[in-house]
Amino acid sequence: MVFTKTSPASAAAVIGGYPGFGCPRPRLSGRGHPHPIRLTAFGLFFLLAGRSETIRGLRGDGRDERFAQIDLRATAITGLALLVALIVAWLVAIARGQSGSPYDWLLAIGGLAYLLAVAWFRWRG
């Protein structure tokens, strides 16, 4: 199976739990269903639900400028949510008397990545 950037098979493999992608070993949930089976079913849904414009946009084979803008906004909101979660986790760790060490490093990496991205896009015009 060849994975390309816009291949629906690559999206289904990553989302659905192709061996080596997210589910290295089967574990049972509380109801007795193995997680890889549920993930594979979810991935097959994305692979086979080709008529929906939203599903095609998520898979990558129906992308246009509108979906690129939606993806950009969704990525920005995700980054903001992660930033808020990291700040809250850092504050909770500091309030408990801990060092907050994993969170401050992640915040520093995020801040540095943001500054480098601004500089890069400013330089490129």
What are the structure tokens assigned to 38, written together? 């549920």
85 pLDDT band, cuts 50/70/90, is very high
On whether both 89 and 122 belong to a single domain, the answer is yes
Rama region for 100: left / alpha / beta (φ>0; ψ in -120 to 50; rest): left
Does the reported pTM lie above 0.75?
A: no
45 and 19 both lie in a single domain? yes
Kindly state whether residues 121 and 71 are assigned to the same domain: yes
Convert the pLDDT of each residue in 33-61 to its tens digit: 557 787 888 888 877 776 777 777 777 77
42 close to 15: Cβ distance less than 8 angstroms = yes
55 lies in the same domain as 72: no
Residues 71 and 41 in one domain: no
Q: Of 24-28, 43-47, 80-84, which has the strongest mean pLDDT?
A: 80-84
Mean pLDDT score of the chain:
78
Q: Does 28 score more than 60 pLDDT? A: no
The whole-number average pLDDT for the span 56-79 is 84
Is the same domain home to 97 and 54? no
Do 44 and 75 lie in one domain? The reply is: no
Domain that holds residue 120: 64-125
100 and 46 inside one domain: no
**Residues 86, 45 share a domain:** no
DSSP 34: B
Helices (H), the chain: 8-16, 35-48, 53-59, 65-95, 101-124
Q: Is the pLDDT of residue 25 over 70?
A: no
Structural domains in the chain (count): 2
Domain shared by 42 and 100, yes or no: no
Domain match, 2 and 34 both: yes
In Å, how far are 3, 89, 93, 110 from 116, measured between CA atoms? 30, 24, 28, 10
Residues 68 and 58 in one domain: no
Q: Does residue 93 surpass a pLDDT of 90?
A: yes
